[in-house]
Amino acid sequence: MDTPVSHCPVPLEQQPLHEYQSLQESCFFRWATLDHPAYLKRGLLLAGIAGLMATPLATTSFTLTESLSHCLLILAVAATGTLLLLVLRLYLGWSYVCDRLLQARIFYEETGWYDGQYWAKPSENLARERLIGTYEVQPLLKRLRRSLALLAILLAIESGLWLLLSPR
């Protein structure tokens, strides 16, 4: 991957190509780039950890002999909700970078929030970044949107089960 153009007035850390490379190298954001089995394995691992961390809450809220179903449902909701938030964070980070890769003009801050500027990308930068955005990042966003939809449906089902199990 080529390094960002040196005559660009945008600080290096705000250049879309550099932002893209930073996400690829990030331990958390790299999760979205894993192949399908590794992506699912990481998600299940994180859901398991979230469920494990919710175990004290579930076991003190309901005794296992009194309501095993409520206890298990709390663990499932904690795991699904945590995973939903993590995937949402992945989506927002990759979506931001994708937008910046696809834009012809990007906003950047020179020294602080009060002196931002717009920079029009040269055609060669724009073409390269649009290729990366279209063929590298947009498929990741599609996968993350599917994951978010699945997790939202699962959370809705768990909420429905909670309502069904709750005494009237």
pLDDT in tens, the chain (168 residues): 555 445 788 889 999 999 999 999 999 999 999 999 999 999 999 999 999 999 998 888 877 766 888 888 999 999 999 999 999 999 999 999 999 999 999 999 877 767 788 999 999 999 999 999 999 999 999 999 999 999 999 999 999 998 888 776
Which three-class secondary structure state does DSSP give residue 75?
helix
pLDDT of 103 reads: 96
Q: What is the rounded distance in angstroms from the CA atom of residue 140 to the CA atom of residue 37? A: 14
pTM for the full predicted model: 0.88
Query: For residue 14, how far is the Cα from the chain centroid?
Result: 20
How large is the angle between the packed helices 16-25 and 123-132, nearest 10 degrees?
30
Q: What is the rounded distance in angstroms from the CA atom of residue 51 to the CA atom of residue 74? A: 8
Write down the domain spans for the chain. Answer: 12-165
User: Which whole-number Å values give the CA distances from 147 to 17, 47, 65, 140, 168, in the listed order?
Assistant: 26, 13, 34, 11, 33
